[in-house]
């Protein structure tokens, strides 16, 4: 991704990313000054900065970490994080679960703020309330990005998790350092983009004493895609969600003349191709590039309205990239299907890992029903 080159044009400054997860610890060296805890709507602010699993903090650092103090430097170190702590697997105690918001409540709340991007690195949002929250966020012009899940591999179906499978949400798959699709990465019609998802350090646990090496999953891939969007939106603050989405799809790396794939969607996200062209044409502001697959006009309508003003109410939505002919995108409940494609499809792309990482030892794998 040539991060150092991109940072000469954009670091994500001025863009806020809502990270909905296990909470975000604002006191790690890499996140000091990066977390806007006061901007979380009060209705869903319970212990937003008390990360009970370390997953949310790791994702926030991949997006906007500064690298200070030997910490992890994210792809958009100039962006800011708005933390949301929701009930995911790993949260203990009935009292805590009672007070902690559900994911749909956090999505709705984030939709009513001035955060442009909602980053969701987990699955399990399958209810009507979840889907309604996603649609609400889409109507507010938010860019929703979610991990597709780690459900592939021997004896596994490869099914795509929700909310990535919902319309209006960009589903992100994982590739490794050799540009092969990660063996664990879910696949199907709702994969829209791919990003690096292997070989990163992340906090070992909620004590935040040390990093563990070789973290992997579609979670980091979604976080890096959120950071990529922040870089683009920072450089072009007047663009709408439709234009940012279109620019990421149009510049994604994939084999020449290839149709969208159920493993990598439109390809590997490459924000540098947008940033290096000061005259890049993002297309019309009020046309959803994925309207066919989204099945509605929420994003198109959002492109004709001014940005939402911050408020403490609750509701949001997300957006899913449309597939060109030959590949669908956000088919709810998409499932794995056999084909001649390979789950280790090689992608010939001139890209490298998007983050700079320092320190860490050992191995840890986040195991949660929703954290991906």
Residues forming the active site: 21, 55, 219
User: What CA–CA distance (Å, rounded) separates 64 from 244?
Assistant: 19
Contact of 64 with 355, CB cutoff 8 Å? no
Residue for token pair 């991704």: 1
Tallying the residues shown for the chain, one arrives at 372
Could you tell me the CA-to-CA distances from 277 to 9, 198, 274, 281, 285 in Å, in that order?
10, 29, 6, 9, 18
């Amino acid at each position: 991704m040539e991060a150092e080159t991109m940072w000469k044009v954009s670091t994500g400054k001025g863009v806020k990313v809502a990270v909905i997860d296990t909470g975000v610890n604002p006191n790690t060296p890499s996140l000091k000054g990066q977390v806007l805890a006061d901007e979380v709507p009060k209705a869903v602010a319970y212990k937003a900065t008390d990360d009970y699993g370390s997953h949310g903090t790791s994702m926030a650092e991949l997006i906007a970490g500064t690298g200070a103090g030997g910490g992890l430097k994210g792809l958009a170190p100039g962006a800011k994080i708005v933390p949301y702590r929701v009930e995911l697997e790993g949260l203990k105690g009935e009292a805590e679960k009672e007070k902690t918001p559900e994911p749909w409540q956090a999505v709705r709340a984030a939709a009513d703020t001035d955060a442009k991007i909602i980053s969701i690195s987990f699955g399990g949002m399958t209810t009507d309330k979840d889907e309604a929250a996603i649609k609400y966020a889409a109507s507010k012009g938010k860019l929703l990005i979610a991990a597709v899940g780690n459900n592939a591999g021997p004896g596994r179906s490869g099914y795509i998790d929700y909310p990535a499978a919902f319309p209006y949400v960009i589903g992100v798959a994982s590739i490794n350092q050799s540009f092969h699709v990660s063996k664990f990465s879910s696949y199907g019609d709702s994969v829209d983009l791919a990003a690096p998802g292997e070989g990163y350090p992340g906090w070992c646990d909620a004590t935040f004493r040390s990093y563990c090496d070789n973290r992997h999953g579609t979670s980091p891939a979604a976080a890096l895609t959120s950071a990529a969007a922040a870089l683009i939106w920072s450089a072009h603050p007047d663009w709408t969600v439709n234009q940012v989405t279109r620019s990421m799809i149009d510049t994604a790396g994939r084999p020449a003349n290839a149709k969208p794939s159920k493993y990598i969607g439109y390809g590997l996200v490459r924000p540098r191709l947008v940033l290096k062209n000061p005259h890049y044409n993002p297309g019309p502001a009020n046309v959803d590039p994925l309207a066919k697959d989204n099945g509605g006009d929420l994003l198109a309508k959002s492109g004709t309205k001014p940005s939402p003003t911050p408020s403490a109410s609750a509701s949001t939505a997300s957006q899913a990239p449309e597939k060109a002919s030959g590949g669908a995108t956000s088919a709810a409940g998409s499932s794995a299907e056999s084909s001649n494609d390979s789950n280790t499809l090689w992608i010939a792309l001139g890209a490298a890992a998007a983050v700079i990482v320092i320190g860490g030892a050992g191995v840890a794998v986040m195991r949660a029903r929703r954290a991906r």
